[in-house]
Structure 1
Amino acid sequence: MTAIKFAWSALGGDPARLARLTTVVRQGALEARLPVRELARACVGACALAAAELAARRAELTEVPGVRVDDGAVAAAFHSERHLLVDGRPPVAFAPLSRFWRTADGWVRTHANYPHHRARLLAALSLPGDASAETVAARIAERPALEVEEAVYDAGGLAVALRTPKEWAATEQAAEVAARPLVERERLGTAHARVLPPLDPATAPLLPAAGLRVLDLTRVLAGPVATRTLALLGADVLRLDAPWLPELPDQHADTGFGKRSAALDLGTDPGTFEELLATADVVVTGYRPGALDRFGLSPQALSARRPGLVVAQVSAWGAHGPWAGRRGFDSLVQVATGIAATEGSAEEPGALPAQALDHGTGYLLAAAVQRALTEQSYDGGGRLVRLALARTAHWLTDGIRPAAATGAPYEGPGAWLAETDSPLGRLRHALPPVSFAGGPAGWARPPVPWGSDTARWR
């Protein structure tokens, strides 16, 4: 089964719909030892097909609009955070303490882009807050990789020891991940959601998510990619963050297209969230499984208060197994699951050409939300969809066969970059890769400063 067929099947899609999809293959796009191009094309293609299907359902079209997936657009989008320019300034990349480190017996990778993660890393290593990278390197070099991993995680930080594919496969977490479907899909309750109004097929562009209200409680990077895509397709997306956890500015600019952004303390102002939830159609969360449950934000609790809701969740390691409660990012999942060893070696680890686990999972999450909405239009029931970066990694390493590239050569991202004025400055950015006949070519609004909106619907 090709990657796109597998992804569409995992989403519960009708296989007959695949006839509406065409691809433009470009040699050299997202080159890697692993079949990254095939994964990226499949994730975007499934998302675009889900959008076209929902558009056809709501506009009462006799045929699903044609979908076109271009490897060039996909490659540009999967590097969107790297292509961003703000008034000509390139984005700030990984922080100095977010990198590979040699240990006494191998390698470990840390993630310390956020100040609180940096502080926890240094505390775990018994180092002062102003410790240099050289000091960190010397301290880590004294200890075994697994010891560093456990010490940093125990301190609430992020570090993962490099594992080969064989070493990862031998872990309990790998077995839990492999046992789950690529897209977990469940019914939530028996109550009926509101019926979405039909779309006028003569209206351009055709926006399958028009009129939908989406609460976005996600961070870095898969969740924001998913909600950015839903905003492209017409949804009113309101991102909510804790006031004490501001997003990295360039990351916010890249993933904030089409959205609004508000700060809200769920602990001290639960009433505002309840007002938003009362008329929401979709809630998307990107925190560790269970991390938001104390605020009454488990899927079951949300569904009980807002019957018919679609709840979408994304995490690093999945909701099952000993690592379910751990924090994680794309770069760390690559290290744990053997991808870094495959793209490099156990002696000199490498990385995928893009944060493909993040981007790919993000487009699959947006696709899962849209498929849930299409299914809901028939039976009215609420839905839960759940994805994990580690499960996407398992698909990449064990489920996709590389295909020969027979198309034109990839000549760079230029054709899929644009410039837009915004409150953040003049932005150069990647265009959306999700495309179907009659659909949107870009976002209706640029990103806004973090936390600059009021926590209420338009």
Structure 2
Amino acid sequence: MAVAYRSDRFLTTDGSSGSVWSPFSGFWSTGDGWLRTHGNYPHHAAALRRGLGVAPNGDATDVAAALGRITAVDAAREIASAGGLAVVVEHERPAVDRALRTTALVEVSRDGTRPSLADLSRPRSPDAPLAGYRVLDLTRVIAGPVCTRTLALLGADVLRIDPPHLPEPEWQHLDTGHGKRTALLDARSPQMEELLSSADAVVLGYRPSSIARLGLDPDALARRHPHLVIAQLSAWGSEHPDRAGFDSLVQAESGISWIESRDGRAPGALPAQALDHSAGYLLAAAVCVALRRRELEGGSWIISTSLRRIAAELLGLPRHDVLAAERTIDGSGHTTRFSVGGRSIVTVGSVIPGFDFAAPRPWGRDQPRW
């Protein structure tokens, strides 16, 4: 599991590994504190520069200079207003985390008001317990893809749909795309409804307000497709539907980054994207349970969690007084090799004994149909 949680570090393409971080993602010193940004996607990097008044071709040095002249709060506000992603690096707030821990780590609820006429029975197989189930994957960036990768590992037919205008970083897909087909489709297309009508489950990983504008929020989906199991992951929780975010940003705002500081002066980070991976596996487990309960009890099932809720759980666990040195992990025996598009790809292997990943497919090359 330690290797799986740090899977990006073991990914190689034709024997080479590269940085998964853009120069526009990281910690930055501001006029009065620290900021954490996420600029891995080109449109987020462009928005970061725009929010700071940096030229469109400006580099990380230009961004650092601009941030040195502004407060962290003002920088986060200006970047967010421009459509970018940045948070102030905060210290933990134990009362906030205690309140979050009074809520379920993963919320699971049944909507039984609209009975389904679908045949919900599926063949049982110890070799592929989710064989016959169709899962529509509307997620990006580690947590959601880890969930659907796990469902594919267990035998589900997983079809990931991406917007045609947002290309995916190759490493990200190769790291989490095992066993799935991937296609490009506008979510407003009538074809999306056709896919949903014959899916068993859909996993949502985009900002809740964006999903709602497309008519794909859990309540709307349950009304139109009362047979569905619907799993929704967000960065900050349903009470913040307009906020986009990633694991690194949630670590920074929740206080984890200061806990992980090596010297008390500059923030640090967990040695793995632990919020993402934890959320992914928890969602996958909840989907499996909900599919079974749907067969026994009927109705739609709605599942939700957030990276911020996962962070609160982590912050409530016992911790050491002294930060341990980061250990080098031996990944030998825990990786697997595939040929994808004529190239040799090494990725972390399955963490579930007795189940092996199928190869990732070239991103976006499949048709949007079951």
Q: How far 1:75 sits from its partner (Å)? A: 0.8
Aligned to 1:81: 8
Q: How far 1:221 sits from its partner (Å)? A: 1.3
Question: What's the TM-score, normalizing by structure 1?
Answer: 0.75
Q: How far 1:135 sits from its partner (Å)? A: 1.3
Aligned to 2:248: 331
Q: How far 1:419 sits from its partner (Å)? A: 1.2
Aligned to 2:220: 301
Is residue 2:151 matched to residue 1:230? yes
Q: Structure 1's 176 and 126: CA in aligned 2 closer, same or farther, altered over 3 A?
A: farther
| Partner SS for 1:452 | coil
The answer to whether the 8 A contact 1:211-1:235 is kept is yes
Aligned to 1:68: none
Aligned to 2:25: 98
Select which of 358, 363, 366 maps to 1:450.
363
Q: Structure 1's 92 and 410: CA in aligned 2 closer, same or farther, altered over 3 A?
A: closer
Q: How far 1:243 sits from its partner (Å)? A: 0.3
Gaps of 5+ in 1: 1-73, 404-408
Cα distance in structure 1, aligned partners of 2:288 and 2:182: 22
Select which of 345, 355, 374 maps to 2:273.
355
Is residue 2:252 matched to residue 1:252? no
RMSD after superposition: 1.9
Aligned to 1:279: 198
Gaps of 5+ in 2: 321-326
Q: How far 1:93 sits from its partner (Å)? A: 1.6
Matches within 5 A, 1:378-389: 378-389=296-307
Cα deviation, 1:436-457, whole Å, max 9, x if unaligned, reads: xxx42x12x3111221000000
Select which of 427, 432, 447 maps to 2:350.
432
Q: Which amino acid aligns with 1:195?
A: L
Aligned to 2:90: 163
Cα distance in structure 2, aligned partners of 1:175 and 1:272: 44
The count of aligned residue pairs is 361
Q: How far 1:411 sits from its partner (Å)? A: 5.9
The answer to whether the 8 A contact 2:123-2:132 is kept is no
Select which of 313, 320, 329 maps to 2:232.
313
| Partner SS for 1:447 | coil
Larger mean CA deviation between 124-133 and 371-380 belongs to: 371-380
The answer to whether the 8 A contact 1:163-1:337 is kept is yes
Q: Which amino acid aligns with 1:182?
A: L
Cα distance in structure 2, aligned partners of 1:354 and 1:250: 16
Q: Which amino acid aligns with 1:431?
A: G
Aligned to 1:395: 313
Cα distance in structure 2, aligned partners of 1:170 and 1:108: 23
Q: How far 1:351 sits from its partner (Å)? A: 0.6
Cα distance in structure 2, aligned partners of 1:341 and 1:138: 23
Cα distance in structure 1, aligned partners of 2:19 and 2:183: 23
Select which of 100, 105, 123 maps to 1:182.
105
Q: How far 1:290 sits from its partner (Å)? A: 2.4
> Which segments of structure 1 move beyond 6 Å, counting only runs of 4 or more?
none
Cα distance in structure 2, aligned partners of 1:433 and 1:200: 19
Q: How far 1:348 sits from its partner (Å)? A: 1.2
Is residue 2:214 matched to residue 1:214? no
The answer to whether the 8 A contact 2:144-2:233 is kept is yes
Larger RCO: 1 or 2 (CA < 8 Å, sep 6+): 1
Question: What's the TM-score, normalizing by structure 2?
Answer: 0.93
The answer to whether the 8 A contact 1:184-1:385 is kept is yes
Q: How far 1:402 sits from its partner (Å)? A: 5.5
Cα deviation, 1:336-371, whole Å, max 9, x if unaligned, reads: 000000011652111101000001111011011011
| Partner SS for 1:127 | coil
Cα distance in structure 2, aligned partners of 1:115 and 1:283: 27
| Partner SS for 2:210 | coil
Q: Which amino acid aligns with 2:330?
A: G
Cα deviation, 1:223-262, whole Å, max 9, x if unaligned, reads: 0010000000001000000000011011111111100010
Is residue 2:187 matched to residue 1:266? yes
Q: Structure 1's 311 and 200: CA in aligned 2 closer, same or farther, altered over 3 A?
A: closer
Cα deviation, 1:63-99, whole Å, max 9, x if unaligned, reads: xxxxxxxxxxx01111112211111121342011111
| Partner SS for 1:301 | helix
Q: How far 1:308 sits from its partner (Å)? A: 1.8
Larger mean CA deviation between 323-332 and 279-288 belongs to: 323-332
Q: How far 1:210 sits from its partner (Å)? A: 0.7
